[in-house]
Structure 1
Amino acid sequence: MTEPGCYSPSFKKPSDVLRMRRKRARSDAFGGKASSPVVLADGVRPFSPGPLLNAPERAGVKRRNPFASIENTYNSPKKRVLSYSGSGTGAPEGKTAAAAGLEGKLKDERLNTGALLREELLQQQQQQHHYHEKPVSISGEDSLFEEDLFEPESSDPVLKSPEGRPISDVDPCEPCLEFPADWSLKTRLLFTSPQSFSWADQPKAQEEAQGLTAHCRAAYTNLPAQIQDPRGCAELRCGFQQCLQYWQHPSFSWLSLFPRIGAERKFAGKMTPWAQDTGLEQSLMSDWSVSLTSLYSLLKSRLCPYFYLCSYQFTVLFRAAGLNGSRNISALMTPTTRGLREAMKTEGIEFTLPLLEEKKKSKDSPEVSESSRQADGEDPLRSCDDVKSDHSEDEDVGDDEIDDDGGFSWLKEMGVQDKIKKPDAISIKLRKEHREVRLDHRPESVVLVEGSNTFTLLNFLINCKSLVAGAGSQAGLPPTLLAPTAFRGATLHALKARTVNVKTQVRAGYQDVCSLEVTGPIMPHTLHALTQLLKPAQKGEFSVGLYTHEPTAVLNVPIGQASELETPDGVVQDLVRCGLQQSTVEQLAVPTTLGKSALRQLHMKGHSYSWRS
């Protein structure tokens, strides 16, 4: 125990070593015999016996510890400072001065490194203007506020995600007053705000009745820009009840008919009398056909803006002319299979695969591919593994079409067509079928039908036997029809709303969190109407986490160009009787910019939006 660093060959416990140090310090203080300082020779490690590997003189010195990494410890400037300054009386005066110099040099290096890092971060923030389209993840019941997402040490507050990345880099002079339309179906919305949501809880009977009447008559009340007392504002509470209403067919009080894809466990054990009664099943399908025909007639007359058909295999979105940049009635079906697409071709339905066509265009022009990826919200600085997965996905999907001669026309140009054995026609056909099957149940399998072909699609769905499950927990149950307006055979339903006040940890303390949870089949107009309602009620500050029904996220694929769209005033004028607010129609008329993704997080700060998808 005479060497500095308290090297213990007998492997004493740390507590024993510290006890001996204190005992030695007390004996030195009272004039006792102090341990003689050991002067370190050049090239010898202080914390382990033995010289350095590159030391010139190694004779007469203990061998070094073979398990110690000498070059990684002693040669480090930080370790040298600790070895000379931390050993107390064992270090000579010359070594102490060298340690002080090294310590000052380390401080300068840290300051220079911090300055360079700050400059690099500022440059990255100036270059990344597309962050307002990136998703923010919310896990479980955790909620986020704008105050919690600001970086405290920065002079200019930047909205941050849980991963520490900026959510939006929008110029304050150009606030984003509207968010893009999201055509996917949501199962849950979680609103959070520093202001209380007590006004949305326990409506009076009169307020609920007025909200139902206003929804059925499509009568909307213009709220003031600022509401001082939301709990005492009857128009606000009635408007909230109006936003929660939707129409559905069929309707059974003991069954929740949304979502339908992957919901076999939810239907298991429930009473399904139509599965054993053929007459009851035919009656249900007859009523369902009448309701579907009524919805299409309303859509064609522009009295209904859109509706959803949710079966156990796929979801179909029918939209009126003028919405999402389309001049004609359009229908999107996802996901599809090769058998379903072949059946549609047999019925004479003309359709396209928009995502595959977009990939073909991006392959032809790399610049367009890069710009489209940035528009879809993808990170331009992706890893090599992501790029490889994209290429493998393109190969699996099979974007490259095979020529009539089997794709071997290039052999003739080289003059070796007779020397290489070509595959027969059967192999080429099997290869094509294999590529088509690879599309099944993928987002790339989304089908777009436009114009008069939507009526042919309607007849196909009514007469399609595979539309209804033949076995399983959903056997004999017709698809669910969801619409924002009333139609023949529909039942009026209301979304479930619940307010909760909790405490969340913010930096060093706790802060009160007010939350509003809305569950049910949430359609695009409902999300927009609720945000328009919460803007004055929560004083322009709230956040919302959106939980998407994943099979419907691809319904945001663009189907029309902005240049081909009619003027928004003309679209609003044509859809003035569709039952939606004018501002909602204007939002739904603009082509969506989300691509095949959906909104995950939406923030409002200072009456301006930022979002992530």
Structure 2
Amino acid sequence: MSSQPFTWAEHLKAQEEAQGFAQHCRAAEANLPQSVQEPKLSTELRCAFQQSLVYWLHPSLPWLQLFPRIGADRKIAGKACPWSQDEALQQALMSEWSVSFTSLYNLLKAKLCPYFYVCTYQFTVLFRAAGLAGSDVITAVISPTTRGLREAMRNEAEADKSPEVSKSPEDGEEPATSDDDESFSWLEEMGVRDKVKKQDAISIKLQKEKHEVQVDHKPESLALVKGTNTFTLLNFLINCKSLVAVAGPQAGLPPTLLSPVAFRGGTMQTLKARSINAKARVRLAYEDVFSLEVIGPVMPHSLHSLTMLLKAAQRGAFSAVLYTHEPTAVFNTSLDNETVCKDLPKCGLHSKTLDQLSQLPTLGKSSIRFLEMKDYVYTWKS
């Protein structure tokens, strides 16, 4: 919202729209002045606005809303889904999806893509290139997870590692004792160990499993994968049978891939934007209030780009209400003991946006809900 109109965001000319798409594909940076005097007449501003709305999606099914996928059954129910009962069609869709997913990972590894999302009907995965969020290696965060998913990922990671050779105790060495045995040793010295019932292995295992299950589907169930293990995660997800729903409205529908840059099999999409003019009562009079509504999967780079445009076009004064996809808010959690690495010059983002995304996250499990700028100074609430 702003006291200044958003006429500059309305009715873009064909040439401005085309220029915006071209700037996006060429990763051209729009360097606007601190304040644009005539926003409606600024072709540079309008082209940059179009550029900031672009994102890439796979699969592309125009009649279905493919984000968010968690809790989307009601919105998809009743829509035409010819693949739900056609196994051959499902295999064809998954084959194309695997190619697109692999393409994105390769771009990420080459530092030509800063990050991308894999959105399934049960969980979301955020892959980030080395250099983002304060990490010097590729990272992937998954939320929400379940004990079964975490266990399956652990098993996959262990299967990829070469078996370790266990060392037998050398001559003169005592075999290692378990923590449980040590905790009861003092009772044995007193001669009362036999009277104390030692917790059996099954009980201990059940307690651990209960604790693991308690965090299922919660932000605390966030899983982090780093470095070369992200490639193992890639293969795990491609071969994971539970990645795609087998029943319900989303049955047979591959996960949604969202990216800020082009990738093989990806389709260019744009966020929907519209300006709204209204009257708001201020004390004893009514004043004009202007707002700009942006709908769609607004990814971090888009949000930062839009705020830079609003800063210049609205003379350093505006406020924004943000609606977060709740399961992904935990992605703002900081990765401990990491170092900031800024080596992503060709990833397709504006240099200022890249600087922002390279920093360590500070919001924890929350996200920005309200953003305001006054006199070119930001404040926000999470």
Please give the TM-score of this superposition, normalised by the length of structure 2.
0.91
Task: Rate the CA distance shift 1:278–1:610 in 2: closer, same or farther, 3 A.
Answer: same
Q: Displacement of 1:414 after TM fit?
A: 10
Q: Among 45, 49, 61, which residue is 1:252 paired with?
A: 61
Alignment-derived partner of residue 530 in structure 1: 306
Task: Rate the CA distance shift 1:557–1:299 in 2: closer, same or farther, 3 A.
Answer: same
Which residue identity lines up with residue 25 of structure 2 in the other structure?
C
Which residue identity lines up with residue 601 of structure 1 in the other structure?
F
The within-5 A match list for 1:305-454 is 305-348=114-157, 404-405=179-180, 409=184, 412=187, 415=190, 417-454=193-230
In structure 2, list runs of 5 or more residues that go unmatched. 160-177
Q: Displacement of 1:420 after TM fit?
A: 3.2
| Secondary structure of the corresponding residue to residue 544 of structure 1 | strand
Q: Among 574, 577, 587, which residue is 2:356 paired with?
A: 587
| Secondary structure of the corresponding residue to residue 405 of structure 1 | helix
Alignment-derived partner of residue 377 in structure 2: 608
RMSD, aligned α-carbons: 1.8
Which residue identity lines up with residue 565 of structure 1 in the other structure?
V
Which residue identity lines up with residue 517 of structure 1 in the other structure?
E
Higher strand share: 2
Count of matched residue pairs: 363
d(CA) in 1 for partners of 2:306, 2:61: 27
d(CA) in 2 for partners of 1:407, 1:232: 78
d(CA) in 2 for partners of 1:406, 1:268: 56
Task: Rate the CA distance shift 1:411–1:347 in 2: closer, same or farther, 3 A.
Answer: same
The within-5 A match list for 1:294-309 is 294-309=103-118
Q: Displacement of 1:425 after TM fit?
A: 2.3
Which residue identity lines up with residue 527 of structure 1 in the other structure?
L
d(CA) in 2 for partners of 1:305, 1:414: 61
Q: Displacement of 1:593 after TM fit?
A: 0.7
The structure number with the bigger radius of gyration is 1
Q: Displacement of 1:426 after TM fit?
A: 1.8
Task: Rate the CA distance shift 1:411–1:256 in 2: closer, same or farther, 3 A.
Answer: farther
Task: Rate the CA distance shift 1:338–1:411 in 2: closer, same or farther, 3 A.
Answer: farther
Alignment-derived partner of residue 269 in structure 1: 78
d(CA) in 1 for partners of 2:310, 2:239: 44
d(CA) in 2 for partners of 1:314, 1:410: 45
Which residue identity lines up with residue 412 of structure 1 in the other structure?
L
d(CA) in 2 for partners of 1:413, 1:204: 86
Q: Displacement of 1:421 after TM fit?
A: 2.6
The within-5 A match list for 1:215-230 is 215-230=24-39
Which residue identity lines up with residue 103 of structure 2 in the other structure?
S
Find runs of 4+ consecutive structure 1 residues off by over 3 angstroms: 406-420
Alignment-derived partner of residue 552 in structure 1: 328
State whether residues 349 and 457 of structure 1, in contact with CA within 8 Å, keep that contact through their aligned partners in structure 2: no
Task: Rate the CA distance shift 1:328–1:202 in 2: closer, same or farther, 3 A.
Answer: same
Task: Rate the CA distance shift 1:244–1:420 in 2: closer, same or farther, 3 A.
Answer: same
Identity %: 63
| Secondary structure of the corresponding residue to residue 324 of structure 1 | coil
| Secondary structure of the corresponding residue to residue 269 of structure 2 | strand
1:458 matches 2:267 = no
Which residue identity lines up with residue 237 of structure 2 in the other structure?
L
Q: Displacement of 1:299 after TM fit?
A: 0.3
Alignment-derived partner of residue 168 in structure 2: none
Which residue identity lines up with residue 359 of structure 2 in the other structure?
V
Q: Among 577, 583, 596, which residue is 2:346 paired with?
A: 577
Q: Among 195, 198, 206, which residue is 2:4 paired with?
A: 195
Task: Rate the CA distance shift 1:488–1:541 in 2: closer, same or farther, 3 A.
Answer: same
Higher relative contact order (CA 8 A, sep 6+): 2
In structure 1, list runs of 5 or more residues that go unmatched. 1-191, 351-402
State whether residues 561 and 591 of structure 1, in contact with CA within 8 Å, keep that contact through their aligned partners in structure 2: no
d(CA) in 2 for partners of 1:497, 1:414: 76
Which residue identity lines up with residue 368 of structure 2 in the other structure?
L
1:597 matches 2:372 = no
| Secondary structure of the corresponding residue to residue 279 of structure 1 | helix
Post-superposition Cα deviations, 1:496-519, rounded to whole Å, max 9, x if no partner, equal 001101112223332211000000
Residue range with higher mean Cα deviation, 214-223 or 466-475: 214-223
Task: Rate the CA distance shift 1:272–1:420 in 2: closer, same or farther, 3 A.
Answer: same
